[in-house]
Amino acid sequence: MWEARSRWLLATSLSVSAFVAAQMAMFALKVVFGIKLPFVLFDYCVAWFRYIGVPISLPLMSAVFVSTLVFCARQIVREAVCARRFGRMLRRTADNRLSRRYARRFGFDRRQLTIIRAVAPVAMTVGFFRPRIVLSAGLLRMLEPAELAAVVAHERHHLRRRDPLALFALSLSRTALWYVPLLGWAEDKYRTAVEVLADRHAIAASGGGAEALGGALLKLLRQGRAKGMPTASASFADASINVRLRLLLDPRYSPSWRPPLDATLLSIAVLALLAALS
């Protein structure tokens, strides 16, 4: 169930984003460069609004277009700056000896696992195209062997699925298409789904059971999240904590997947207006 729903959420969200982006590109080609295209839904939106008497104009549609580009660019720049700072921090604080030791212990390539010299507990998967697991020395000291194995198995699942890239794509869609609020709900649900899937993989692969995973999760929660970490990352104790803990206690628990009514109606209205024909 969780696997199928996570795939559905990701595919639907990215399809909606791609559809709106394509229409905006066609709109820009016509307005800016004068290239006439046979089917630009933004044109029909303007005509339909005028037909029903709503005072919408081409400048207003252009403002929506520009705001989308601005929010998209800001999110990309912000993430690039954060990733650059994080990369410098990794090079400065990486413990190469411990990294090689734990990479061999857990069967990773040297580039897939980095141990940093930090007191705060850190367990996360970062990177879009060449993801890596980042653990801190403070985490190694805090966790029991079974708990550490569960955390590593959890992050290994994120690594294999390239979850940071998918999470960044959804975050970018939500930020840029701020007028489609259902994308925010979809991103939150997707984050929950990938964390639950990683938890289940960890329980099956680590051998420590739900007790080891729950113990590690509670210890990291008490310590809090380390500062300065990238936003587009899959962090062990940074998403859907209540749902994950309840599922550890009751595997039969099924949280609601019903989207909020107001966000659903508003999103449908926006997409319908984009697809309206005069």
Note whether residue 232 is domain-resident: yes
In a domain, residue 107? The reply is no
- Does residue 211 form part of some domain? yes
Distances (CA, A) of 105 to 101, 129, 145: 6, 24, 12
Is 127 a member of any domain?
A: no
Q: Do the domain assignments include residue 110?
A: no
Region of poorest pLDDT, from 39-53, 162-176, 239-253: 39-53
Q: What is the mean pLDDT of the chain?
A: 82
Whether 183 maps to a domain, the answer reads yes
Check: CB of residue 236 under 8 Å from CB of residue 124. yes
User: Residue 75 falls within a domain, yes or no?
Assistant: yes
What is the domain extent for residue 56? 31-92+139-274
pLDDT in tens, 250-264: 878 877 778 888 888
More confident residue, 248 or 153: 153
Q: Take residue 262 and report the two structure tokens written for it.
A: 């107001």
Least confident range of 85-99, 165-179, 192-206, 241-255 = 241-255
Model pLDDT for residues 79-130, shown as the tens digit of each residue = 989 888 988 988 999 999 999 999 999 999 888 999 999 888 889 999 888 8
Cα-only R_g, the chain:
22
In a domain, 108, yes or no: no
Distances (CA, A) of 227 to 80, 100, 108: 17, 25, 26
Domain count, the chain: 1
